[in-house]
Amino acid sequence: MSKMLGQILAIKAFRESRAALAVTRQRQVLQRAEARAEASQRQLEDHRSEAERRERALFDDLCSRVVRLSAIQDVHLEIEEMRLQERDHEKALEQARAERHRQAQTLVERRTEHSQSLQVKERFVELTRQATEEAAWEADRLEELELEEVAEIRGGRVLRERQQEEQETP
């Protein structure tokens, strides 16, 4: 029984260590997702700053001289292109945030799984400890019984020897 509990405990310990490793790996995945979200945020902010600077420069250039309608249209097209790029950066940021959220949720799940596997392992540690204590107690009890039996046998032999001595001595 104790050997079987030991084997089950080894399996539970293996599962618990696997769950702990999954938590560690998921933490790393989450950190990478957070880094991507932060990078996307920085890229969006950098693009917005650069687009604003570029837009001012384009309008300043238009205002500083006499231009044709085509030059104004070119500026509007360039500004529209910058806005499209900004929307692309915003989409990338939202995707990165969504991925970060998914990875955070997965980390919560992995921690829950680890906690559960740890509790199961601890229960089997306790069962194994109890089984070991009971086996030791049973071994002690059997040893005491054997000692009592030996004492009874010796005591019986001593009694018979005394009785024989009493019979031989009239």
Q: How far apart are CA 20 and CA 146, in angstroms?
A: 48
Q: Which domain, by its residues, includes 96?
A: 2-126
CATH number at residue 21: 1.10.287.1700
CB 89 within 8 A of CB 40: yes
Total of domains in the chain: 1
* pLDDT, tens digit only, all 170 positions of the chain: 678 878 888 899 999 999 999 999 999 999 999 999 999 999 999 999 999 999 999 999 999 999 899 999 999 999 999 999 999 999 999 999 999 999 999 999 999 999 999 999 999 899 888 888 998 999 999 999 888 877 777 766 666 666 777 777 65
Backbone φ and ψ for 67, nearest 5 degrees, come out as -125, 165
Report yes or no on 39 lying in a domain.
yes
Report yes or no on 164 lying in a domain.
no
- pTM exceeding 0.75: no
Report yes or no on 168 lying in a domain.
no
- Maximum C-alpha span of the chain: 154
Report yes or no on 159 lying in a domain.
no
Report yes or no on 161 lying in a domain.
no
Report yes or no on 73 lying in a domain.
yes
Q: How far apart are CA 60 and CA 38, in angstroms?
A: 33
